[in-house]
Amino acid sequence: MNLVTPDSGLLFWMIVIFGIVFFLLAKFGFPIITRSVDERSARIDKSLKDARDIEERMASWTQKEAKMREDARKGQALMLREAAEEKNRIIADARSAAKSEADKLLADARTSIAAEKESALRDVRREVALLGVEVAEKVLREELSGADAQRAYLEKMLDEAAKADTIK
């Protein structure tokens, strides 16, 4: 038995059969299997990557949302504060406007009252003066019926006038 001498018949059959089987499998067997599996692994890789991307995007969205909410809250607070300030300002303005109006009315009223009063007082004074003149006329007519009395009175009047001048 020669174990290390290749037998020609077996060599022939091995080359023929191995060749045929290899040809068939290389054409219809292995490429189909490996292509399908490669496609599948490519798809799995892509899906994993997509999932990771989506996760990242979700995380960034959540962050963005939180930030937006925070911004909105800040904006709201700011607006509320501004509105309150505006309100206060308007109220203060209105108040001051009303006050100044009232003051002006009051001042007008006061002036007109003062003017009225003045004119009323003037009238009264005139009336009183006229009445006084009439009364004095009547009294004088009564009293100055004599020449002495008239003279004395004249002198008295002159004194008084002089006195008034000096006072002035």
- Angle (deg, nearest 10), helices 147-167 and 30-143: 150
Determine the Cα–Cα distance for residues 156 and 97; give it in Å rounded to an integer.
Answer: 61
Q: Quick one: tokens of 21?
A: 């089987």
- Angle (deg, nearest 10), helices 30-143 and 8-28: 20
Enumerate binding residues for another protein (CB under 8 A): 1-15, 17-18, 20-22, 24-26, 28-34, 36-40, 43
At its nearest, how many Å lie between another protein and the CB of residue 14?
4
Specify the residue, 6 or 146, whose C-beta has the smaller distance to another protein. 6
With beta carbons less than 8 A apart as the criterion, state whether 138 and 144 touch. Answer: no
Specify the residue, 32 or 128, whose C-beta has the smaller distance to another protein. 32
At its nearest, how many Å lie between another protein and the CB of residue 27?
8
At its nearest, how many Å lie between another protein and the CB of residue 46?
11
